[in-house]
Amino acid sequence: MTGVDAGVVAAWCRDHVAELLIAGLAVCVLPLAWLVRRAVRSGRPDAWLARVSFLVGFAWSGEAMWEVATQKLGLSPVFAGFGFFLFEAMMATAMIRAERSQVRVGRPGRHGRAVWLIAVVAGLIAAVAGDSVVEMGLRLAVPLLVAYQWWVGLSDDGAVRAPDAITWTWTPRRLLIAAGLARPGVSDLSTVDRERQVRTVAKVAHRLHSTRWAWRRGWCQMRLRSLAMRSDDAVLDAARVRVERVWRAAERTRPATPAELEAVASVRAEAEAARAEAERFRTDAELARADLHRLRAEVVRVRDHADRVQADAGRIRAEAEATAAEAVEAARAEAEAMVAEAERARAELEAVRAELAARPAGARRLARPSSRSQRAVRVLEDGDSVPHVPRVGAATVRAVLEARRAEPSATQKEIAARVQVSDRTVRAVLAAVSNGRAGDRGTVGGPSAV
């Protein structure tokens, strides 16, 4: 039954080969298109292509291992499967560890060397499975190309060399330079052509000045003239410098004599002494520069202090001027007050004189106070007169007398509290009024008239 079913399936597959191929291509193309779209959207399509190339390279190398294990060695499929998986797993493990070392210390280290070693061994073993020289070279190159692509993406020209790194004595570049097929550095076409002209002119000039044959000397002169026609002065000068260098090479490379060595040693000692003297002068100059900076800072500090003192002096001068102005204003106000008081006193005196002049002569004689009682009359602004009390104002005298008339029985202390003066002032006013009444009773302007 199983055989019949298998035959039917095989016959159906043979009858529908085109449909199966289209389905297989669709199954392969759709995932591949999805992977390409994802790679493009990630912004790093080269990383996805590198992974795909790694898988293809591993598959190619694994197929070669399988063929060697099953056909060349005749191993069982189980052991062939181990061999198929062994080298690819070891190489992938070394790559992962090398990438980790690159991130941590800046270089792949021994794991990177392990990748190259595994790639070489896998390539040699895979090359054994080839049936021709071309197939052998292809199977050998695939693992090496996979390792090289991984190494370029890992280092990216930024790998740090290990302290114990080595340098190959012979490399392809050094072989090309040694063979004269390449030159170190970068040179453009004009530089290379100029160097060729200088070298050719220098060779001909050297032969001209070193040969002993006349015919060769004549040929070199004609050759040199021909080269000079196609060269400029700079080329001829450079060629002359090279010829002089060649002629003096033996003298310049000759070992120095003891006298020359002694002269060189003395010159070197003098140079060292001059260098030490220059260092000393430089040190002194640095010290002088430091002192100059310090003095400049001190001058700036003194200038700032002087500015502050000047500002304080200006402020004090302004305050003094303001104080003097205030004192002058106060003195002027006080003088004006005194002048006003004098004017009022004069006005009062004029009023008293006018009043006395208006009275009859007899009345004026009766109204004149006696010199013995020392009694005088003050006239207020409203025309009333009060007795004169030394060192007491007329308004105060009038207030005390009015308080006395309002309360005849009040004591001096009560009158002083009401008028808000001292007891002495009340006593002086009452005493002056009593003396005036006793000495000149009945005269005009007495206390009774107030």
Q: Is 167 part of a structural domain of the chain? A: no
- Does residue 69 sit in the same domain as residue 131? yes
Are the C-beta atoms of residues 202 and 231 closer than 8 Å to each other? no
For the four alpha carbons of 68, 71, 76 and 77, in that order, the dihedral sign comes to: positive
* Residues listed for the chain: 450
Is residue 442 scored above 60 in pLDDT? Answer: no
Is residue 131 scored above 80 in pLDDT? Answer: no
Residue 286 pLDDT grade (very low, low, confident, very high; cuts 50, 70, 90):
very high
- Does residue 132 sit in the same domain as residue 51? yes
Element (H, E) at 333: helix 258-358
Task: Give the least confident one: 37-41, 161-165, 292-296.
Answer: 161-165
Q: What is the DSSP string of 103-172?
A: HHHSS-THHHHHHHHHHHHHHHHHHHT-SSHHHHHHHHHHHHHHHHHHHHHHHTT-PPPPTT----SS-H
Which amino acid does the sequence have at 449?
A
Share of the chain above pLDDT 90, in %: 15
Q: Is 348 part of a structural domain of the chain? A: no
- Does residue 50 sit in the same domain as residue 150? yes
Is residue 363 scored above 50 in pLDDT? Answer: no
- Does residue 56 sit in the same domain as residue 139? yes
Q: Which residue has the higher pLDDT, 278 or 338?
A: 278
Is residue 116 scored above 70 in pLDDT? Answer: yes
Structure tokens at 84: 């198929």
pLDDT of residue 39: 61
pLDDT digits (tens, 9 = 90+) for 234-271: 999 999 999 998 888 888 788 878 888 888 888 999 99
- Does residue 71 sit in the same domain as residue 148? yes
Number of structural domains (the chain) is 3
- Does residue 143 sit in the same domain as residue 198? no
State the CB neighbour count (10 A cutoff) for residue 242: 17
From CA 90, how far away is CA 84, in angstroms rounded? 11
Q: What angle do CA 128, 134, 139 make, to 5 degrees?
A: 45
- Does residue 128 sit in the same domain as residue 228? no
Are the C-beta atoms of residues 447 and 397 closer than 8 Å to each other? no
Is residue 365 scored above 60 in pLDDT? Answer: no
> Among the ranges 85-99, 144-158, 427-441, which has the highest mean pLDDT value?
85-99
Domain boundary among 222, 252, 282: 252
Domain boundary among 132, 156, 180: 156
Radius of gyration of the CA atoms of the chain, in A:
66
Q: Is 20 part of a structural domain of the chain? A: no
Q: Is 428 part of a structural domain of the chain? A: yes
Average pLDDT over residues 44-52: 66
Average pLDDT over residues 80-86: 71
From CA 139, how far away is CA 151, in angstroms rounded? 19
Q: Which residue has the higher pLDDT, 220 or 371?
A: 220
Residue 370 pLDDT grade (very low, low, confident, very high; cuts 50, 70, 90):
very low
For the four alpha carbons of 225, 231, 237 and 241, in that order, the dihedral sign comes to: negative
> Among the ranges 8-12, 342-346, 365-369, which has the highest mean pLDDT value?
342-346
- Does residue 130 sit in the same domain as residue 218? no
Instruction: List the one residue out of 406, 412, 415, 402 whose CA is nearest residue 447.
Output: 402
Is residue 278 scored above 90 in pLDDT? Answer: yes
- Does residue 128 sit in the same domain as residue 58? yes
- Does residue 54 sit in the same domain as residue 127? yes
Q: Which residue has the higher pLDDT, 234 or 36?
A: 234
Structure tokens at 47: 């990383």
Beta strand pairing status for 377-379 and 385-387? antiparallel
Average pLDDT over residues 300-321: 90
Q: Is 28 part of a structural domain of the chain? A: no
Q: Is 116 part of a structural domain of the chain? A: yes
- Does residue 213 sit in the same domain as residue 121? no
Q: 372: Cβ–Cβ under 8 A, 6 or more apart, which residues?
A: 439
Q: Is 247 part of a structural domain of the chain? A: yes
Domain boundary among 205, 237, 252: 252
Q: Across the chain, what does the average pLDDT equal?
A: 78
| Domain extent at residue 425 | 359-449
pLDDT of residue 379: 44
Is residue 276 scored above 90 in pLDDT? Answer: yes
pLDDT of residue 184: 81
- Does residue 205 sit in the same domain as residue 140? no
pLDDT of residue 292: 92
From CA 195, how far away is CA 200, in angstroms rounded? 9
HSE value, Cβ hemisphere, 13 Å, CA-based, for 367: 21
